[in-house]
Structure 1
């Protein structure tokens, strides 16, 4: 079993800029709730970054985000892997993504940090995957 972490982009921090600034403003005004806001934002960032991962186990690719197994894909059914910058919601913390196309019409967008090693491991199990990265 191999575990790959998601690549993390700087834009993820931008999403939390407003809540963090709002929390700092509360702290300046002497409200303790601001500390709670900053703590929650930091915990959210750490939790998301640590929990988004891609697991290759035997003939399966398991895509996990938080406590949810988003997809359980048989590697033998993967047809194609290609580079994408899609902004569609997905278990990826970066816009430097790959689209994994499997079965007839299914696909998932992920962003493994060690992309080449990840691809090599998939190709070792299924050398028939068409790769366009």
Structure 2
């Protein structure tokens, strides 16, 4: 089993810090500690979710959260900056086209190694 972590864009961390940092600081200043605690808890949950985004290659399967993809069903892999919702924490993404019409967007830190690993299992994947 090989695990690839998701790349995280710096601007995403700044955005979350700004959105949730303000209510935390405001709660401390206004002595509304419950508000600070709630928003701090949300930040912790978000970063735990970030930590859990990973892409596992187990045998001949790619696991992305609960989705299991047979690597032999992958037709094409290409780079994209598509901002659609996906298990990717960066806009520097790769799209994986599998089965007949399925596609998933992911953002492994080391895209080259990830694609090379997929190609070592299925050399018929078209890389675009």
Do the structures match in fold with TM over 0.5? yes
Cα distance, 1:16 vs structure 2: 4.6
Q: Which residue of 2 aligns with 1:8?
A: 8
State how many pairs are aligned: 127
Long gaps (5+) in structure 1: none
Tell whether the 8 Å contact from 1:23 to 1:33 is kept in structure 2 after alignment. Answer: no
Q: Which residue of 2 aligns with 1:126?
A: 122
Long gaps (5+) in structure 2: none
Task: Kindly report structure 1 stretches of 4+ aligned residues shifted beyond 4 Å.
Answer: none
Equivalent-residue separation in structure 1 for 2:49 and 2:18 (angstroms): 16
Equivalent-residue separation in structure 1 for 2:117 and 2:40 (angstroms): 38
Structure with more helix by fraction: 2
Tell whether the 8 Å contact from 1:20 to 1:37 is kept in structure 2 after alignment. Answer: no
Equivalent-residue separation in structure 1 for 2:46 and 2:109 (angstroms): 17
Matched, 1:107 2:103: yes
Aligned-residue CA RMSD (Å):
1.4
